Every structure is written in C-alpha cells, then in structure tokens.
Structure 1
Amino acid sequence: MEYTALGRTGLRVSRICLGTMNFGWQIGEPESHAILSRALGAGINFVDTANMYGSRDGDGLSERFIGSWLAGSGARDKIVLATKVYAPMSDWPNDGGLSARHIVASCEASLRRLRTDWIDLFQMHHIQRETPWEEIWQAMETLTVQGKIRYAGSSNFAGWHLARAQTVADARHYLGLVSEQAKYNLLTRHVELEVLPAARALGIGILAYSPLHFGALSGALRKQRDHQGVRTQLHAPDRVEPHRAALERYEKLCADRGLAPATVALAWLLSRPGVTAPVIGPRTPEQLDVPLEALTTSLGDELLGELDAIFPPIGAGGPAPEAWAW
C-alpha cells in the first residue's frame, strides 16, 4: 500500500480511501464488516462515511456498522476515520446544516454511532452560505479542543468557498480545511478549473468521490452487452447513455491495452496532481482488487493523451481563467 500526507498535515493516509455509502443502503452489517476487514488487511487505513449514509429516520446505519466493526476488531488506532456533517437527520429545523449547534450535536451523535472517542476528519458535506464562517470555525475549534475531532475538511465546495473558509480560519489561528472531497472522474472534470488549483495553493488534499461515475467507467457497455447489467442503486444506465460514444472509444482503448476500464479510471485519478486518494465504494470484498491493482498501474504520457482526447477537459484544459481565456 502507498501512503501520503493528507493535504499539508503530517497525517498519513492510504492512497485508496474506503467509502462506505453502500453500508446500510445496499449491503448489510456482515458484508460491511467483511469489506472493512479486507481493506485493513490490504493496508487501507482511510475510511470515509457520513452521518446520513444508510440513514433511515436518522439511524445512520453506515456509521453504526463501522462502529460495531471497530468495537469487535480493535482496529481503531490503525484507522483514519472520516465522517460528515450537514445533511438533515430529521424534519426538525436545527437537525441539519452548519450552525454551531448542529455541528457539535452531529459530531456527538456520530461519535456514539461510531463507538469511538474521536473522529480524525470531520467534513462539512456541503456549503451553507447563510452560516458565517466565524460560527462554523468556533464550533470546529470547540470540538478540536475537546479532543472530539482532529482535523476539519469539506465536500462539494467551490474554489472560492475554500479560499474564504481558509482566510477566516487563518485569522482565528486555526488550522482550517485539510481536505476537500469533490466529485472527480474522467467524465466529470469541472473541479480542474478552480477547486483543484485553490486546494493545491492552500495545501488542501483532494479526495475524489464517484471515481467511476456511478459505474459508467467500469466497463458498463460490456456489462450491458453481457446482460450483466450495472448493479447500482444510483441507476448507472442513466449515467451511461449520454456518454455512450465516448465510453465505446474508452472501452476499446482499455481492451487494446489489456487493462480493465475501472483500473484505468482509478489510475488516472491517482496520477492527477493534488489528488490524495479516490474514494471507492465496493459492495463486496472482491471489488477491492481493482483499486489495489490501480496503485501499481502506470498509464504513461501516450495513454494519458488518448484519455484526454476521449474525455476532453473543459475549455482549453487546466485552471481558470486560462481554460477559456488567453
């Protein structure tokens, strides 16, 4: 396993992050435990969840499944554990968002479900524009001083959100954001315009979620031809059809090179500057084999150029404003 620093911190995380959105929604507790054990055995020390994953009436099943595994495995000290706050967990008006009240209450609820004394990376799952950053950082500082969280991160932020958040954190002499979890894959490259440049300039590590675009980049066309379908709750066929022409070229390119499409998609992300780790969401222990293979797959400049031709970056490519201006 390869390890790298999370953003500008001294924290070492595996270059594959185990995402657990399927826990509780698509797979049960025994299957979730098997995946966690297989990941840890392979050296994956980075586990990502959210309070709302697997949630039914605020149950937070993904966190509960992880908590029961941690309690039985004794692996807590080996794991860098990340979860999130923002999504409403009930219909009550203060049971969601980024108010100081909800940030603290959500953290304490996650700690109970996860059966742990601390969260390594506490991430804001989305931006809430109406909550001032002074309030948000006050809550995060309180949790840090109490020893309940070690680092703060974000998800689904724009580049200017990262800059504004960090400016206020710096003024308060608080570490601020160390990671941004963003949707990023060969088919979705918007973050290259401003999020990636901002994150790199600020020392914020990028965690790329949906690295296979809900299965579209995993050989979906071949699976359809083989009548296997694409088993995903998020309706991968709907994600495939708008990109069929590009995916046909992609799957042929991978076949010609003797590489699995999922391996290429993950290896491409691992090659991108500023990316700490793709966040993968297996439904079985065996589905961890492809991400592990991607760690040792070098694509080379020629193949990277061919991928750019199939899945062109936005505008002229690269950061804004050069992507659309002189």
Structure 2
Amino acid sequence: MEYRRLGRSAVRVSPIALGTMNFGPQTPADDAHRILDRAVDAGINLIDTADQYGGDLGVGTTETILGDWLAGRSDRDSLVLATKVHEPMGDGPNDRGLSAYHIRRACEASLRRLRVDHIDLYQLHHLDRAAAWDEVLMATERLVADGKITYLGTSNFPGWSIASGMERAAARNALGPVSEQSLYHLANRTIEMEVVPAAQHYGIGILPWSPLGGGLLAGSPSDDSKRRRAAHAGTEAMRDRLDRWEQLCADLGQPPAVVATAWLRDRPGVVAPIVGARTEAQLDDALRSLDVTLDDETNARLDEIFPGPGPAPEAYAW
C-alpha cells in the first residue's frame, strides 16, 4: 500500500480511511472488531470516529466499541486514530460546540472511551460561529502541549473559515489544521468550488466522507441500494445520470462502489476517502479500489455525467 502525507504534516496515512460511524447502531461490536482487524491487516492505518457516534445506542457508543478493540491490540502506535468534537453530548448548554470549556472536557471523555492516552488527529466536527479561532486554537494548543492530541483537523468547514483559521494559527506560531473532512463524491462536487482550493493553498489534506453518496453511487442490483436511493430527494431526476454511470462501470468491468472510490481517491487535494464499511464485503470493495486507476478518457466521461461546479468565482461571476 502506498501511504500519503496527511496534508502538510509529515505523518503518512493509508489512501483509504476506515470510518466507524456505523459501528454500534448498524454493525454489532463483534462484527465491527472483525472489520477493524481486516482493515489493519490490509494496511489501513487511518481510523476515523467521533464522540457523538452511537445513534439510538447513545453518544459515545462507537468510541467505546473502538476502545475495546484497541485495548486488545499491541499495535496502537502504528495507527493514526482520529476522532471529533462539536456535536451535542448532553443536554447542558456547554455540552456541545467549540468553546475551550467543551473542547477540554470532550477530549478527556474521548480518551477514556477510546482507552488511549492520546488522539492522533482531533477534528472540529462542524463550524461553531460562536467560537472564535483564537479560543479554539488556545484550547487545542494546550491539548497538544499536554500530549493529549497530536494534530488538529476540521470537518464540514467552509473555505473562508479554513483560511481564517490558518491565518490565526500563523499569527500564533501554531501549526493549525492539517486536514479537512468534507462531504464529497461524484454526485456532489460542491467543495471543488472553494474548499478544495483553500485546502490546497494552505497544505490541508482532504478526507472525503460519504464517497458513495450514502449508497447513491453503489449501483442498483441490491435491495439495500434501492432503499438508499429512495431516501435521496431528487434521485429520479438523476435517473439518466445514474443509468449512464452504471453503464460506464459495466464497461470497465468494475462495481460502481469501486469506481466511485477510485475516482475520489485521485482527486486533487484528496488524501483518503473515508469508507464507512458496515460489512467486510463493503470493506473489500474499498480495498479493491486501490488496484483501480482511471484513465483520462474515463475521467472525461465521468465529468460529462457528473460535471463539477467549476472554480470560484468564475463559476458564478463574470
């Protein structure tokens, strides 16, 4: 497996990241542990979670499942462990967001659930307009100094805030975020307009989530994918595109999930798509994508089916 630098940091991560959002709500702990074993055995070293994951089982459930798995392994230090902070963890007024108060308490709680002494990539799960970058950086710099986190990342941040954060970090002589986790897939290329250019300018690696569009790009044969398509507003309006997409994949002799992940992996600025495998079979599709490289002709056909938004401001101004 060919590892990649995580943005401008020197740490190297696998070109596929294992997302764990389904662990607990959809994937029982024993199955989750087998998927984790399979992923690490295949060379994946970037494992992504969040303190809020757990669904109906309650916030923190997924981190606890991951912590139980980590406790049984001796190779924790070969993994790049990522989690997130921002989403509600309780009913209190300070149980959410990016205040220095909440960041400190949330990090301590994640460390306990994960049963580790440090988090390699601590990601701000969403923009908090009430939290100034100086406050966020103050809190995370202290966590770095205390050895509780190594790198800072963002998730679901707009380009303007990424730029603002990097400029404030430079003024503080701090490293600032090294990664941005964004919604990105063939059928949703919005981040190419401003987030991708901002990330590339500042040396921030992009970690796309939902590489299959919640199943939209996974193909139509299974009942599972049909149910997922039904959940997407406007899917019927995309019927022609999806038919052309599936024909292209058939021409390549590859499953749609494999092609979608391979395309995303090689987009400018992308470090590693985050594959939220619910089953070992889904993980195997992601691993299979590592052996697929799309040529210029195929990429041109994909651009015709799923055109990008174009760069800003040219996409919306003269």
TM-score, normalized by length of structure 1? 0.94
Q: Percentage identity across aligned positions? A: 53
Q: Assess if the C-alpha contact under 8 Å between 1:57 and 1:89 holds in 2.
A: no
Structure 2 CA distance for aligned equivalents of residues 161 and 245 of structure 1: 36
Q: Does 1:222 align with 2:221?
A: yes
1:110-140 residue CA offsets vs partner (Å, 9 max, x unmatched)? 0000000000000000001111111111100
Structure 1 stretch displaced more, 278-287 or 41-50: 278-287
One-letter code aligned to 1:222:
P
Aligned to 2:31: 31
Q: Assess if the C-alpha contact under 8 Å between 1:180 and 1:206 holds in 2.
A: yes
Aligned to 1:41: 41
Q: Show the 5 A alignment for 1:234-253.
A: 235-239=228-232, 240-253=235-248
The count of aligned residue pairs is 316
Decide whether aligned partners of structure 1 residues 87 and 10 sit closer, same or farther in structure 2, where only a CA change above 3 A counts.
same
Q: Assess if the C-alpha contact under 8 Å between 1:152 and 1:179 holds in 2.
A: yes
Aligned to 1:265: 260
Aligned to 1:255: 250
Aligned to 2:272: 277
Structure 1 CA distance for aligned equivalents of residues 204 and 252 of structure 2: 34
Decide whether aligned partners of structure 1 residues 295 and 57 sit closer, same or farther in structure 2, where only a CA change above 3 A counts.
closer
Describe the SS at the equivalent of 1:81.
Answer: strand
Aligned to 1:322: 314
Structure 2 CA distance for aligned equivalents of residues 56 and 75 of structure 1: 31
- Please state how far the C-alpha of 1:252 moved relative to its aligned partner: 1.0
- Please state how far the C-alpha of 1:287 moved relative to its aligned partner: 1.7
1:8-48 residue CA offsets vs partner (Å, 9 max, x unmatched)? 00000000000000011111110110010000000000000
Describe the SS at the equivalent of 1:208.
Answer: strand
One-letter code aligned to 1:305:
A
Root-mean-square deviation (CA, aligned residues, Å) is 1.4
Structure 1 stretch displaced more, 51-60 or 79-88: 51-60
- Please state how far the C-alpha of 1:58 moved relative to its aligned partner: 5.1
One-letter code aligned to 1:181:
Q
One-letter code aligned to 2:230:
P
Structure 1 stretch displaced more, 185-194 or 51-60: 51-60
Unpaired segments ≥5 residues, structure 2: none
Runs of 4+ residues deviating >4 angstroms: 55-59
- Please state how far the C-alpha of 1:242 moved relative to its aligned partner: 4.0
Structure 2 CA distance for aligned equivalents of residues 259 and 27 of structure 1: 26
- Please state how far the C-alpha of 1:66 moved relative to its aligned partner: 0.6
TM-score, normalized by length of structure 2? 0.96
Decide whether aligned partners of structure 1 residues 89 and 43 sit closer, same or farther in structure 2, where only a CA change above 3 A counts.
same
